[in-house]
Structures are given as C-alpha cells and as structure tokens.
A and B are shown apart, each in its own frame.
Chain A
Amino acid sequence: GDSVTQTEGQVALSEEDFLTIHCNYSASGYPALFWYVQYPGEGPQFLFRASRDKEKGSSRGFEATYDKGTTSFHLRKASVQESDSAVYYCALGDHSAGNKLTFGIGTRVLVRP
C-alpha cells in the first residue's frame, strides 16, 4: 500500500536557521503530495500541495518540489522563526480512493529564540 516516510522525528533549530525536513513516498499511482502543520491543541492545517512532477508548492516561506524520480517532497524554509515551532506532516492523497490521505509520522520542529 501507499506509505510516507519522514526521516527526522524531531529537529531543534535557532531563529534564522535553515530548515529541511525529508519526505519520501511510495505509491502505486500518481498521488498528490501535501504538507500539513499542526500546532498544540489543534488539528493539522493545510500548508500547500503539489500534484505533478517538478511542481513546487509553497506557503508562508515554506516550499517543497514534487520529485517523481526520487519519490521525494522535502520541506524547506530559509529562515525559521520561533512561531514555526510545530509538528509538520508530509502526506500523499489518493484521488482514486476518495481523496484519502496517507500521513508520515510527523516531524516536531522546535525553534529557539
């Protein structure tokens, strides 16, 4: 079945550091790829998506590029702020199955002031 792997369980940074969270996927079809962010006490919030190879998604300074060759969708941000502290989830969407999302385990990002 479909799966999403996030290699970093937790990342600790200082403000203005560069952030990278690695996401690799395995899917039989051609899924859409998503990043969601979750703050304490809330549900996941949609950050952005990409639907085809080489498409770049971006929002709030975060970006990721759909790479079908390496089956990756790595999240990057050039300069993090303390307010970026949250859990980040990579997910793939299967439109043939009613848009169900398959999530990665999540990466907890802690940004020190």
Chain B
Amino acid sequence: GPKVLQIPSHQIIDMGQMVTLNCDPVSNHLYFYWYKQILGQQMEFLVNFYNGKVMEKSKLFKDQFSVERPDGSYFTLKIQPTALEDSAVYFCASSADNYAEQFFGPGTRLTVL
C-alpha cells in the first residue's frame, strides 16, 4: 500500500539545539499531519497542514514548533530551540482529502539530552 517515509528514524540532540524532522508523504496526498507520542502515553495531534498553511494546531504545538513543505518536497517539523519535554516519537501522516484515512510513517524517535 501507500507508504509515508520519515527521516531520520532516530535523532539525539542537546537541549537548546534546533532539529528538523522530515516526512515524505504519499505522492498524491494533499493533507499532512504531525502527531507526538511520549513513551507509554497516547498519541496526540500536533498540527495539520494543507495548501501551504496550518489549518489546526493543538496546545502541544508550541511557539518553538514550525511546519512547512517547501516546493512540494518533504513536509518538515522544526523545533527551535528544543526542550527536554520534546523527547518523544513523532509520527507524520498524510491523507488524500479532509475525510480520507490517514497514512502514517514509522515515526522519528527524538531524544533531547
């Protein structure tokens, strides 16, 4: 079936540094999402993105977070600066439209030291 890829699979950085998580969504999909899952907790919605704009964001999507999809390439989540509580697995997803099922990538495990 359709695949969403995420790069890197693991990232370890020091607190205060910047990190960019990359997502290669399904090729004809138009809606993109980021979710965050802390170990042992629920997966939580961060943000969704369509037509170059953020449509909806949760309270977890702090001012230090930003998303973009420059030139239709990777859909990225940037955190600048990172904090200890940003340590989690971040899942990217994409969907064909606003009602279709979302296809998820395998996640990027981010560890902030």
Contacts and interface: CB of A to CB of B under 8 A. Distances in A.
B28 interface: no
A99 B102 contact: yes
B4 interface: yes
A59 to B, nearest CB: 11
B91 interface: yes
Contact of A98 (B4, B42, B48, B101): B48
B104 A98 contact: no
B95 interface: yes
Q: Is the interface of B mostly helix, strand, loop or mixed?
A: strand
B103 interface: yes
Interface residues of B, number: 27
A49 B95 CA distance: 14
A34 B99 CA distance: 12
B106 to A, nearest CB: 5
Given A43-B106, A44-B104, A46-B101, A99 B42 contact: no
19 contacts: A36-B104, A43-B4, A43-B106, A44-B91, A46-B101, A46-B102, A98-B31, A98-B48, A98-B56, A99-B31, A99-B95, A99-B102, A100-B33, A100-B45, A100-B48, A101-B33, A101-B45, A101-B102, A103-B44
Interface of A: 32, 34, 36, 41-46, 49, 89, 95, 97-106
